[in-house]
Amino acid sequence: MRQWQNDPVLKVDHLTMRFGGLTAVDDVSFEAGSSDITALIGPNGAGKTTVFNCITGFYKPTEGMLTLTHPDGSSFSLERLDDHDINSKARVARTFQNIRLFKGMTVLENMMVAQHQTLSRASGFTIGALLGIGGYRAAEEEALDLAREWLRRVGLTSRADTVASELSYGDQRRLEIARAMCTRPILLCLDEPAAGLNARETDGLNELLYSIRVEKNIALLLIEHDMSVVMRISDHVIVLDYGKTIADGTPEEVRNDPRVVAAYLGVPDEEVRAVEREVGL
Amino acid sequence: MAEPVKSLSLRLQAALLDALLAAYGAFALFCLTLGFRTIDSAGGLTLQSRPVLLAAVVGAVFVGRLLLNLFVWQTDRPRTEPFAKLFTGATVARRDVIVLGAVGLLSALASLVPFPAARLIAGGMLAFLVVGAIRRAVLHFLPNLPYARIFTVGGLAFAVLFPITAYLLEKAFHLGLPLRYLLDLSIVVLTYVMLGSGLNIVVGLAGLLDLGYVAFYAVGAYSFALLAMNFGWSFWMCLPFAGAFAALWGCTVGLPVLRLRGDYLAIVTLAFAEIVRIVLLNWTKVTNGPNGISDIPRPTFFGLPFGASGETFSTFFGLRYDPLHAIIFLYYVIFLLVIITNLVTLRLRRLPIGQAWEAMREDEIACRSLGINTTVNKLTAFATGAMFGGFAGAFFATRQGFISPESFTFMESATILAIVVLGGLGSQLGVVLAAIVLIGGIEALRHTQGLKAIFGPDFDPALYRMLLFGIAMVAIMVWRPRGIISSRTPSIMLERQRAAPGLLPKERRT
């Protein structure tokens, strides 16, 4: 039994996603440990983002089960929840491959929108706060504190009142992570968090992700192309190719797996010729 | 422009080419509209060609474009720079002052010549210079005044005081002000401010392009009219119901269509508005069809009607009966409604619901990933906007005393949407300014007698107001593509003092 199978926060069982005749994800199963950083890697078009979209409810899987278990023991069948409930009830947060911020709003507003659920309840679904009853002010202060804390951790405190579209690319990436963390998730899904970052920013990102995992005890699931990120911080790596799992293990195991090497680098020409001869080409 | 300096011949070549293209464009546009004229003569319509006029216009375009190219666009130092500086914050050199002074002096002299056209142009130039100079002087000597606040408070104070003050002055001094006309116009403008504010929630904040807003206006108006006529309820009793019915209709329409976005949503809302209008037109038993509903009761002042006989407002307060009382009262009713609408919107923007609306406008998918139920939030935006539309409709019905489906055509929706877009999507002050410009401006153009000086005594400005108005709209959208007010105030700030203006969204289709 591997460490991530002891106490998985997310259990993916026989996940299949077909778009018409195209099978983007084909019978994929894996577990993500509750305090692990799990990386989902694979060549372009391998189906990584499709798996992500199934987990976060943007796609309804054709087949399979996605079970999320909270530390208190309650569990959720993600394939049955609406996308917004996956965040608000099951507490799964995500970021996007092409950053999706609220670009016309300020950094702080982005952080407050992320706490909509809590704030909306505190505002008595608007009517209470409109009439000035209920504890909305206190809830707003609390939300501001959480926003402040995360802005400090991603180093954006001084830019809190700037419009999000004016931030640099790296800052936008970090803001998106901070915004996702404001929803108080137990599983954070990051779609290529290091894409477009330079070496120094990547180091900073590694530290941030590591600290999220260690201090907050939050499970991370990430898609990444940057092997320096994957190999350095992840505890568990799953490799997809053409929609199928081809390897599943620790970074060391995966690195040395011949099938992974073949999927990423291809196979030597002699082998191809040998196979061709076998099938009679 | 930081383009490299081009040689004179190259510049001339580019300028000529551009001017020729512009002249060709002008010819293509005007060859039929100005080049020919139909004359109603005894033997039927005859065609008169006007080659001289056409040539003059095309020539004017060519020369004007050439001059603009040579002296403004294709040079390193545009000759209009000193004038532009009046309306920016750039430092003014001595040279600029000399140029401006010389032009000012020339205009002042030219405004004394006996040709009315020259006087009008010179006067306009002079006014332009004076306004710019005052603006620069005020900014120079009092740079840190909160101008936006002064402007808002001043505007509000004017709106509150104007009817009463004007009425009292008129009564005391018999100034001969067209008070009735001015008040009626203000009421119409305020009604559009109200409608614009409501639609602003849907289009400006939540980003849902609604081309059928007039449906809610109609539902409000008919709810009020039917309740008041059939049950004899007063205006103030009916008002909440009119709003509630409109909101209900908003939800009814919203539930099936809100999965659509952008253009598709626009078309479906347009269709729903037409359905409402056609139902009103054909459901004769209830709505009286195309004949409309007349004799809708006027609002009363806490139960006191405004009339000439019986126990009325004027007898109760011991005043002499004056039909203006009722109009002033109507003015304050719609003013109050506008203020309530805007205060509620202001508050909503700072609450989670308003922030969620704006977030939905920015990125719906990100909203869903953050646990925001976009369907519910779109519905609340639709219903809130519809409710204010319903209030405006009830007011419209009671003011007119008569409503028919005629009043609720697509043209109305388009006007309201134009107010919101022209004002700047999401800006409440923008809606107010745009309503004044759009509704008041069209009226004001009826009275531009000065233009007779240019176009001759036969010129009737009222006939050309739509044309002039179209030109003005194009100009505003060229110079201020994000609307009159293009900055957005953040709904929450970490440091309260620092102003961090953002930009309102461009008119965008997702």
Mind listing the pLDDT tens digit for each residue in A99-113? 999 988 999 999 999
Contact state of A104 with B502 under an 8 Å Cβ cutoff: yes
Burial class from Cβ neighbours inside 10 Å (0-12, 13-18, 19+) for residue B305 reads middle
d(CA A43, CA A40): 10
What are the φ/ψ torsions at residue B503 (nearest 5 degrees)?
-115, 145
**More confidently predicted of A48 and B85:** A48
Q: What is the nearest CA distance from A100 to chain B, expressed in angstroms?
A: 6
Q: What is the DSSP letter of A132?
A: T
Predicted structure pTM score: 0.84
Closest chain A residue to B368, measured at CA: A84
Contact state of B344 with A130 under an 8 Å Cβ cutoff: yes
Task: Looking at B401-481, list the stretches that DSSP marks H as alpha helix, in order from N- to C-terminal side.
Answer: 410-423, 428-435, 441-444, 452-455, 461-479
Please list the residues that pair with A28 across neighbouring strands: A15
Q: How much is the average pLDDT of B310-335?
A: 82
Q: How much is the average pLDDT of A120-147?
A: 78
Least confident of A177-181, A263-267, B15-19, B447-451: B447-451
Name the pLDDT band for B383 (thresholds 50, 70, 90).
very high
pLDDT of residue B449: 67
Contact state of A102 with B348 under an 8 Å Cβ cutoff: no
d(CA A47, CA A143): 36
Contact state of A112 with B368 under an 8 Å Cβ cutoff: no
Closest chain B residue to A164, measured at CA: B502
Contact state of B367 with A119 under an 8 Å Cβ cutoff: no
Contacting residues of B for A100, CB less than 8 Å apart: 363, 365-366, 369
pLDDT of residue B273: 92
CB-nearest to A161 from B365, B371, B493 is B493
Amino acid at A97: Q
Task: Looking at B178-234, list the stretches that DSSP marks H as alpha helix, in order from N- to C-terminal side.
Answer: 179-199, 214-231
A110 torsion bin: left (phi>0), alpha (psi -120 to 50), beta (else): alpha
Contact state of A113 with B355 under an 8 Å Cβ cutoff: yes
Q: Residue B435's closest CA among B155, B103, B74, B30?
A: B155
Contact state of B363 with A101 under an 8 Å Cβ cutoff: yes
In terms of average pLDDT, the best of B35-49, B65-79, B133-147, B210-224 is B210-224
How far CA B172 is from CA of B157, B166, B167, B168, B176, in Å, comes to 22, 10, 9, 6, 11
List every span in chain A annotated with CATH 3.40.50.300. Answer: 1-91+185-281
pLDDT of residue B396: 94
Residues 48-77 of chain A with CB under 8 A from chain B are 56-58
What are the φ/ψ torsions at residue A196 (nearest 5 degrees)?
80, 5
Q: What is the nearest CA distance from B470 to chain A, expressed in angstroms?
A: 30
Q: How much is the average pLDDT of B116-138?
A: 82
Q: How much is the average pLDDT of B402-407?
A: 90
- Given a cut of 90, whether residue B247 has pLDDT beyond it is yes
d(CA A214, CA B500): 36
d(CA B71, CA B363): 45
Name the pLDDT band for A134 (thresholds 50, 70, 90).
low
Name the pLDDT band for B149 (thresholds 50, 70, 90).
confident
What are the φ/ψ torsions at residue A242 (nearest 5 degrees)?
45, 40
Q: What is the nearest CA distance from B484 to chain A, expressed in angstroms?
A: 18
Q: How much is the average pLDDT of B348-376?
A: 90
What tokens does B109 get? 């002299």
Pairing type for strands B502-503 and B487-488 reads antiparallel
d(CA A227, CA A237): 11
Element (H, E) at B66: helix B51-68
CB-nearest to B494 from A103, A120, A160 is A160
pLDDT of residue B453: 64
Cβ(B364)–Cβ(A83) below 8 Å? no
Least confident of A116-120, A146-150, B23-27, B316-320: B316-320
For chain B, helix (H) and strand (E) counts, in that order, are 21, 4
pLDDT of residue B500: 45
d(CA A176, CA A190): 10
Packing angle, helices B461-479 and B410-423, rounded to 10: 40
- Given a cut of 80, whether residue B468 has pLDDT beyond it is no
- Given a cut of 60, whether residue B505 has pLDDT beyond it is no
| Alpha-carbon dihedral angle through residues A100, A104, A110, A112, given to the nearest 10 degrees | -140
Q: For the sheet containing A37-41, what is the strand order? A: A92-94, A187-191, A219-223, A37-41, A236-241, A244-249
**More confidently predicted of A205 and B488:** A205
Q: Residue B223's closest CA among B250, B202, B196, B188?
A: B250
Residue B442, Cα to own-chain centre: how many angstroms? 10
Residue B47's CB is within 10 A of a number of other CB atoms, namely 8
The residue among B492, B497, B498 with the most chain A CBs within 10 A of its CB, best to mutate, is B492
Contact state of A109 with B505 under an 8 Å Cβ cutoff: no
Amino acid at A70: H
pLDDT of residue B1: 43
d(CA B199, CA B416): 7
Please list the residues that pair with A190 across neighbouring strands: A222
Contact state of B500 with A161 under an 8 Å Cβ cutoff: yes
What tokens does B84 get? 């532009």
pLDDT of residue B493: 81
Pairing type for strands A219-223 and A187-191 reads parallel
The rounded mean pLDDT for chain A is: 86
Name the pLDDT band for B177 (thresholds 50, 70, 90).
confident
Q: How much is the average pLDDT of B303-310?
A: 74
Query: What DSSP assignment string belongs to A150-212?
Result: HHHHTT-GGGTTSBGGGS-HHHHHHHHHHHHHTT--SEEEEESTTTT--HHHHHHHHHHHHHH
Question: Domain A1-91+185-281 is of which CATH architecture?
Answer: 3-Layer(aba) Sandwich (3.40)
Amino acid at B319: L
Least confident of A120-134, B253-267, B461-475: A120-134
**More confidently predicted of B288 and B216:** B216
Cβ(A43)–Cβ(A227) below 8 Å? no
Residue A150 has, within 13 A of its CA and on its CB side, a CA count of: 27
The residue among A88, A111, A120 with the most chain B CBs within 10 A of its CB, best to mutate, is A120
Cβ(B372)–Cβ(A84) below 8 Å? yes
- Given a cut of 50, whether residue B508 has pLDDT beyond it is no
Contacting residues of A for B383, CB less than 8 Å apart: none
Closest chain B residue to A90, measured at CA: B371
Closest chain A residue to B496, measured at CA: A161
Please list the residues that pair with A241 across neighbouring strands: A244
Residue A183 touches chain B, beta carbons under 8 Å? yes
Burial class from Cβ neighbours inside 10 Å (0-12, 13-18, 19+) for residue A118 reads buried
What are the φ/ψ torsions at residue A69 (nearest 5 degrees)?
-115, 125
d(CA A221, CA A240): 14
Tens of pLDDT along A245-278? Answer: 888 888 888 888 888 888 877 777 888 788 888 8
The residue among A56, A126, A159 with the most chain B CBs within 10 A of its CB, best to mutate, is A126
Please list the residues that pair with A66 across neighbouring strands: A12
Q: How much is the average pLDDT of B198-204?
A: 93
Question: Is the CA virtual torsion A110, A116, A120, A126 positive or negative?
Answer: positive
Q: Residue A102's closest CA among B6, B240, B222, B355?
A: B355
What tokens does A227 get? 């092997």
pLDDT of residue B278: 93
